[in-house]
Structure 1
Amino acid sequence: MSGSSSQAPTNVRSGRALFRLCLVRDDIRLVAINHTALSLEHLFNAIRHDSTHGPCIAARDLPLEYHGRVIHLFSQRDPHKLDWKLAGAEYIFESTGKMTREAQARVHIDHGGAKKVVISAPSSDCPNVVFGVNHRTYQTDQDVLSNASCTTNCLAPIALVLHRSFGIETGMMTTVHASTSSQKVLDGFSTKDVRQGRSAMGNIIPASTGAAKAVVKVLPELAGRFHGISIRVPVTNVSLVDLTVTLETPVASKDDLISVFRHAATPRLAGIVAVSDEKLVSSDYLSSTESATIDVDASVALDGRTVKIVAWYDNEVGFSSRSE
């Protein structure tokens, strides 16, 4: 994406990851931030330091200037009062996690004067676009889009490759997912699910996920064939998808199975899907920008029709890389 861009706000993980990516991209000009930090000191600290990804060297001179241009700072909890046009912002990355419906996100256009909004979360009523899967369906008159979720961005390209190569009869996905800010550090209460109220750092916690349903939104031909669950584990970042499918057309061997991903990764899904022959662990994929990295050693071709694909993804950086 070229031209002016902006972000609102930086108080959640995807927003902060996206902010860092904007700093190192020459084709995106960051012009404004809406934040809800207690003070500028708190904001600057959050920008420059991160417990997971380390210090942000590119932000040493921020937020006053970026590439010689002033960055406008808003601190507004009411989105109706944001004047994005004043800041020269054309594209809004809606990263609050609170405005996921089209009418909510459209406030940035109708009241703020922006041209387009990308919601960095799944949306129930606006187009969900997964780059590399259904991005070509985008129409220029669609001015509010959802980037779906980190897990959907990992799962959907894998499902696409398998379905186009062999056909998918049924699929069951488990995401072994890093803890998120919605969970509790210590035992407490959750209005969403009793188990979500338990300590994220001391437990493995089964949870629901909408990723399987979201895949059907971008690959409607798979309707009724997919189900998925999430297992939250006590790590701060990097997750994996464990996808087991029954194929319509048998695959001859594991080598043949993996070869279709090697072929798809270059060049059609380059930068989106990667294949790794190394025996790595989650921390090795920290700050990986791919949506999915196939773990060859962990993947299985059981009997020709039953196969398992294991893929890693940085659920913060990988996902935010697709928002751009």
Structure 2
Amino acid sequence: MNCAQNAPLPAKLLSHYDLTDRNTFGLQCQAQFAYEVSAPEQLPALMSAIKDSNLAWRVLGGGSNVILPANLPGATLLINIPGCEISKSDVSYTEVIVGAGMGWHEFVSWTLDNDLPGLENLALIPGTVGAAPIQNIGAYGLEVAQFIDFIEAYDVQANAFVTLSKDECRFAYRDSYFKQNPGRFIVTKVAFKIPQAWSPKLDYAQLAQVLADIQDPRPQDIFHAVCQIRTRKLPDPKVIGNAGSFFQNPLVPNNQFETLNQQFPGLPSYPDESGKRKLAAGWLIDQCGFKGQRIGAVGVYQNQALVLVNHGGATAQDILNLAKHIQETVLQKFGVALQIEPNIF
């Protein structure tokens, strides 16, 4: 891949840039330097200048999975790389190349509008396409890794653009090679391989319940059902600040699950490919009495214990203090450690 044939305009510099509207928690934050990256070709010169200036730096997509401090020193890269096009199609698959800056839900909607079903279970997840593989986002029985063919990225360590195959991305539950190597890669484009053969994924009871009255649900039916469930369970960040699911669903060995299931009948769980059991973090938190609790400016959402919210004026430390309290309480009651999903800057 050659991204240096035509010299692009440099990334736009925004000094003392307000990031309050660039994070879904609604945390007040001012970036010392922010750079709008609208094309991959801008990255080599930009990263060279950042290194020469010895600035700390980080990438920010849609800000849906971050906890930001009041002041963010150094350089913040705002990845706004656009684009979405079908690169090839055959009887088995259609390959779609998508710019890292495209909104994730916008992309899912685009696939259905273009008769490319498969991603509908992942509807209404906030954030950008470029951020999706880093966390290996998932919902209702699907993970984004199942549809990724390869990823184009700028390797800051090698000062070069690279293409990583699906296997090289080392996807796991809420994990990837990118997450394991923070600060090394800047995702620029994602290639999705969407099968032509489609079958509904209705393993989750909530989804099946919403669709119970529809015989042979189609992709659009599932898309709307997922949006309905997520809207009911998760608050709109424009109304109340949040980052969606705040904790990962923990994986525990089968013997630990059996012990817990005897102590706590009705414990929700799902088999995992690793041979372990995946527990519902929201259920664990709810059983500890946190759902609907409010402590000052922060709290736990009344409709979903997995979601921490900013009622207005909260700081990053307020959120982390509440998260620590929840982790300690769940560990004491169940012997299960909860891991925070959002990135802490």
- Per the TM superposition, whether the score is higher than 0.5 is no
TM-score computed with the length of structure 1 as normaliser: 0.31
TM-score computed with the length of structure 2 as normaliser: 0.30
